[in-house]
Structure 1
Amino acid sequence: MVLNFDVGFSEDENLKWRKSMEDTHVIQVPFMGDESAGFFAVYDGHGGKEAADIASAELHKFLEKELAPGKNGSVKASFMSAYEQMDDRLKFDALYMGATAVTCLIREEANGTRKLYAANAGDARAVLCRDGKAVRLTKDHKASDQEEQDRVTASGGWVSMNRVHGVLAVSRALGDHAMKQSVISEPHFWEDDLTDGDTFVIIACDGLWDVCSDQESVDLVKDEPDAQAMSQKLIQTALDNGGKDNISVMVVRWS
């Protein structure tokens, strides 16, 4: 059975001057020529937009090569390699800039199961609605996180005022090669079969999550008629809740 996708994307028009410098997004349906597959991503740049622009144009292409027939690697290994290759590609283009990334792949496998895969580096986040409950698929890689602080310190770096080297609030990202020893690109990875209770996923940069909790976001939009209305409602709620950062929100539904 072919997966049918309903995808909505919205951005904060009131801060569009700022968003235009930072965020990009990708919607690839079909993915790799497969009508039952979709790739969805949001990239949030810092220090400039170039790293986010390059990532949005190329990361899914690296993933396609890793997932190609004959590779025989796991999907997790494919995501890990794609992020590593993307980061390496930015070595000469993103010395003092970078981008957080949240990427999702939804597809029907050869055995007929429907799978959702998610990976992220940084504080952009993906949240699944499962039986009405919010399930976080990603990990916020922030310098304020104790586990990430310990990793940065072990690498020879340091954290001050909850910023890596006193500069960067995220502890993982694509790019930022001037701090690559501490700011790594290795993503968090999640995968699971989709069940009848899984209805949509919210993919957004930290501008939403700074002011809306996972469950609040799911509750706000689960009764909306389509994905575009859902994404627009989340943008407006983030603004109503005092959001000041750039806000980009994607909602993906399937049937």
Structure 2
Amino acid sequence: MKMNNVFAQTMPSPTQDRNFVLSGRQLFSGGHAEEIGLRSSMEDACAIIGEFAGAGTQFYGVFDGHGGNEVSLYCANNLHRVISRTLKDEDITVEKAIINSIEEVNKGASSKYPNTGSTAAIVMVVNNIVYCANVGDTRILLVENGKTTRCSYDHKASDPAERQLVLARGGQIVQNRVNGVLMLSRAIGDRVVGPGLSCEPFIKRMRRKDGMRIVIACDGVFDVVDDETVGSLATRHSNTQEAARVIKDLAISRGTTDNVTCIVINLTPK
């Protein structure tokens, strides 16, 4: 893909195998909050990577693991690196780079951790274009001029369109689960689930504008809080760290039974 800026020769190495990976120069204010909740272990992971693919680029991701945290950690520590490498091909679009990179990470995760999996929801800023992509049911919201818009798609086996795709891929739907195992129709990893599962992401792009806010959060939030409430809280607090904390705390107070992870981004440059 043709970049407006030269790729950075080196990028500070993020802390490895942590559920929160932070690295690089941050062009926008991005806050994150997480809590284990009622679960016995934390299976979520997230990443905020500044200038991951050269000057002016940013990467944000939330990964909700299931069956363990191995694949979510693998995604948080590796997906941005694979996308960065893939984008060096001047003939590839950003969308195709995202698709190819997720496929590569899926192959690696499926080989290393066949019995576990993860969702993925990422937001990237490249050449002043915002790219939102997700696999699974971790959501991305855009809040602009008081309006909240979903920029992701919940990939669930109970969704009629997703059911047809699972069947077309050779899988079965048993009690709203792919092959009777997984409620998600798309995920990274999960080789044990068998045929029918996909890692193809939903992708949406838009031009970045000052005043935009983005929320990325796992279903531990959206199981108990609707999109509009989350969007309102994201803009009510000027500090993105505080906004993420308030969203997380509301989900906990409403009795979510899952881990909770949330990232809030102010897309006005610092």
Judge same fold: TM > 0.5, yes or no: yes
- Match of residue 157 from structure 2: 143
CA-based RMSD: 1.7
Point out where structure 1 has 5 or more consecutive residues left out of the alignment. none
Q: Does 1:7 align with 2:30?
A: yes
AA aligned to 1:59 is L
* Preserved CA contact (<8 Å) 1:3 1:254: no
- Match of residue 188 from structure 1: 202
CA-CA distance at 1:16 after TM superposition: 6.9
CA-CA distance at 1:14 after TM superposition: 4.0
Identity %: 31
CA-CA distance at 1:137 after TM superposition: 0.9
1:215 to 220, 223, 228: 228
Spell out the pairing of 1:27-106 with structure 2 (5 A cutoff): 27-34=48-55, 36-68=56-88, 70-106=89-125
* Preserved CA contact (<8 Å) 1:142 1:170: yes
Q: 1:146 to 1:234 in 2, by over 3 A?
A: same
SS in 2 for 1:91: helix
Distance between the aligned counterparts of 1:170 and 1:145, measured in 2? 10
Deviations 1:121-154 (A, max 9, x none): 1001110102111111111001111111111122
Spell out the pairing of 1:101-250 with structure 2 (5 A cutoff): 101-107=120-126, 109=127, 114-196=128-210, 198-250=211-263
2:265 to 238, 252, 255: 252
How many residue pairs get matched?
Answer: 244
Distance between the aligned counterparts of 2:194 and 2:84, measured in 1? 25
* Preserved CA contact (<8 Å) 1:134 1:214: yes
AA aligned to 1:138 is S
Deviations 1:199-246 (A, max 9, x none): 210011111111111111111231202000000000111122221111
Distance between the aligned counterparts of 1:170 and 1:126, measured in 2? 17
Q: 1:4 to 1:80 in 2, by over 3 A?
A: same
SS in 1 for 2:165: helix
CA-CA distance at 1:167 after TM superposition: 1.5
* Preserved CA contact (<8 Å) 1:3 1:37: no
Point out where structure 2 has 5 or more consecutive residues left out of the alignment. 1-24
* Preserved CA contact (<8 Å) 2:139 2:153: yes
CA-CA distance at 1:3 after TM superposition: 8.2
AA aligned to 1:157 is G
TM-score normalized by the length of structure 2: 0.85
Q: 1:201 to 1:18 in 2, by over 3 A?
A: same
